[in-house]
Structure 1
């Protein structure tokens, strides 16, 4: 079951990347929408990782 979920995520990621390239070349409107969603999701993940790293280096105040 886990393999199927990971395979689905991989297919969505590859499809999103294809839409980004296609939209850059003037693809249809739906490809531009998918590309925008893909780029926004990537930016959110990047910011989340940056915030996690920052909270880890400042100590976080957890006392663990």
Structure 2
């Protein structure tokens, strides 16, 4: 079940990236919409990772 979910996510990511490239070359209106959503979700994921890494509680990964 997890493999199916990961495959679906992978297809969505690859499709979104293709739409971003196509929109940059002047694709149809729906492609520009999908590209905008893809870029917005990418920004959310990056900002979420940044917040988590900055407020990580000071764990330096040492054994001590």
TM-score over 0.5 for the alignment? yes
Aligned to 1:44: 44
Structure 1 Cα separation of the partners of residues 58 and 3 of structure 2: 36
Q: Unaligned stretches of 5+ in structure 1?
A: 60-64
Give TM-score, length-normalised by structure 2.
0.87
Q: State the number of aligned residues.
A: 59
Q: Unaligned stretches of 5+ in structure 2?
A: 60-64
Structure 1 Cα separation of the partners of residues 27 and 44 of structure 2: 24
Aligned to 1:62: none
Q: How does 1:1-64 map to 2 (within 5 A)?
A: 1-57=1-57
- Displacement over 2 Å in runs of 4+: none
RMSD: 1.3
Structure 2 Cα separation of the partners of residues 58 and 30 of structure 1: 44
